[in-house]
Copies of this chain bind each other. A is one copy, B any other.
Amino acid sequence: MSREDRYADTRRLSQLLVGIAERAKADFAAVVEPLGLPVHLARAVLLLDTPAPMRELADRLCCDRSYITSLADQLEERDLIVRVPGEDRRVKLLSLTPDGIALRDRIADTVTERSMVQVRLTGAQRKALLPLLEVLAGDPDDEQPTERRSAQC
């Protein structure tokens, strides 16, 4: 197989991958919007499986601490979280309220139910896909050490 042919395959696969991910993002937004929740708030809610310091959320969402402050304000206004003081008194933990937990569960269930992975693929196909995606995602611990990428941002 020529270099050009391999390249064409790679391009096709890359396009599919990006298209699928964009579609997944749009589907997520479509689930979450009728609940009156902007996408970035919904993502934060899903991450708060367990109460987490704001700093940690910033790391996981790959954004600035100051932005987390504004997310937290918005989530608090909607009574989805409360700020609870951490042991280290500089730290505040974001903790889901009962309303927040209910909403998180609802979002997680709905997103999963409607996921293309769930809807379009058979069990066998899911099973075949998993190892391929794992190779593609790469073992996060065996990257070529490019000195950047200490955190995934």
**A interface residues with partner B (beta carbon < 8 Å):** 1, 6-7, 9-14, 16-25, 108-109, 111-112, 115-118, 120-121, 123, 125-126, 128-130, 132-138
Contact between B118 and A10, CB atoms less than 8 A apart: yes
Contact between B24 and A17, CB atoms less than 8 A apart: yes
- Which residues from chain B contact A109 at a C-beta distance below 8 Å? 7
- Pick from B17, B130, B135: contact of A120, CB under 8 Å: B135
- Which residues from chain B contact A16 at a C-beta distance below 8 Å? 130, 133-134, 136-137
| Number of copies of chain A assembled together | 2
Contact between B24 and A18, CB atoms less than 8 A apart: yes
Residue of B nearest to A149 (CB): B26
- Report the minimal beta-carbon distance from A24 to chain B, rounded to whole angstroms: 6
- Which residues from chain B contact A116 at a C-beta distance below 8 Å? 136, 138
- Which residues from chain B contact A135 at a C-beta distance below 8 Å? 120-121, 125
Q: What separation, in Å, do the CA atoms of A28 and B130 have in the docked complex?
A: 24
- Report the minimal beta-carbon distance from A111 to chain B, rounded to whole angstroms: 8
